[in-house]
Amino acid sequence: MNLLIGGSWQGAKDYLDEIRAMGHEVVFLQQERDPVPVDPSWVEGVIGNGFFLYHPINDYVNLKYIQVISAGLDRVPVDEVRRRGITLKNARGVYSGPMSEHAVWAVLTLYRQKAYFMENQAKHVWNKLRMIPELGGKTVCVLGCGSVGTACAERFGGMGCRVIGVNRTPRENAAFERIYSFSEMANALNMADIVVVTLPLHDETRGLVNAERFAQMKEGAILVNIARGPLVDTAALLDALDARLGDTESTGRPGDTESTGRLGGAALDVFETEPLPADSPLWDRPDVLITPHNSFMGEGNAERLNALIMKNLAQMEK
């Protein structure tokens, strides 16, 4: 197979000789937005990430294989890929561990009031907080029950949480007490103390977490988004958070039991616009934890990704 390999696969150069020994021809393109050094008709397979954001897939008439290094497929024209019967592989499972650990860390960071204690530490102030929420016993609703969602369910379950899920196609999964369909989402959201978004981004899910969904959430719930920014309506999120801060008895800290607002806080790793603009009101909120699309980072990613790509290639015809 004639392979075009992009530099977004950072370990690629260490494997080029092995790939050629498997019987594949290889051209390496460091920057995927750059002009391709071969005729598009030569290319039968592409390994990369955002290659088709810059190169029309219809130019690649002999394409039969695509491997992306991300878990999401929103950078690939999936409808055209399926129409043409092109084999499409993602990085399923590579980032599930780090992302699920990030979700648990984010909730604990908000629950255990890290910002408050770090501020006091900087000021050398000894101040206790009495009413600290506990993760154990909380109900966690995971929107999207694929590999990342399942890893989240396993880790929250290991912390003593009750875990339910929402998926386009409900199915049996031992990590979840029950998986609800999209049509049953309101019931699931109403039970949840924590809502973790791990859904893929496509037309059906864009803006799915909107004002209607926030109104269905349990009062004081924490939202965690580690999937894609456009899944959550930012304006509706701010409105839901403002309803909480509008309570004059509230300190504005997540988990404040004196607050009676709708949403108790949010941990956001992804945003509708990235990087998050400096003037976004999200930056300065005490009830929001912001990380720069970093949840997928983990020390074992490269090893897992390399192994997955090579395994998938070995299963393809030359």
* pTM more than 0.95: no
- Please state, in angstroms and rounded to a whole number, the distance separating the CA atoms of residues 253 and 264: 8
In which residue ranges of the chain is pLDDT below 70?
244-261, 318
For the chain, give every residue range classified as CATH 3.40.50.720.
2-94+299-314, 96-290
Q: How far apart are CA 163 and CA 175, in angstroms?
A: 8
From the list 184, 204, 274, 303, the catalytic residue is 274
Superfamily (CATH) of domain 2-94+299-314: NAD(P)-binding Rossmann-like Domain (3.40.50.720)
Q: How far is CA 100 from the centre of its chain?
A: 9
Q: What is the pLDDT, as a whole number, of residue 312?
A: 97
Residue pointed to by tokens 């990030």: 102
Q: Establish whether 274 is a catalytic residue.
A: yes
HEC states along 31-59?
CCCCCCCCCHHHCCEEEECCHHHHCCHHH
Which of 213, 228, 244, 262 is an active site residue? 228
Pick the catalytic residue from 202, 206, 253, 293: 293
Which H, E and C letters describe 109-164, residue by residue?
HHHCCHHHHHHHHHHCCCCCCCCCCCCCCCEEEEECCCHHHHHHHHHHHHCCCEEE
- The set of long-range contacts for 290-298, using a CB threshold of 8 Å and a minimum separation of 24, is 291/102, 291/106, 291/267, 293/269, 294/102, 294/269, 295/98, 295/99, 295/102, 295/103, 295/226, 295/269, 295/270, 296/71, 296/95, 296/98, 296/99, 296/102, 296/226, 297/98, 298/95, 298/97, 298/98, 298/101
84 is annotated as an active-site residue: no
Decide which of 3.30.930.10, 3.30.365.10, 3.40.50.720, 3.10.450.50 is the CATH code for 96-290.
3.40.50.720
pLDDT digits (tens, 9 = 90+) for 170-207: 999 999 999 999 999 999 999 999 999 999 999 999 99
Q: Please confirm, yes or no, whether 32 is among the known catalytic residues.
A: no
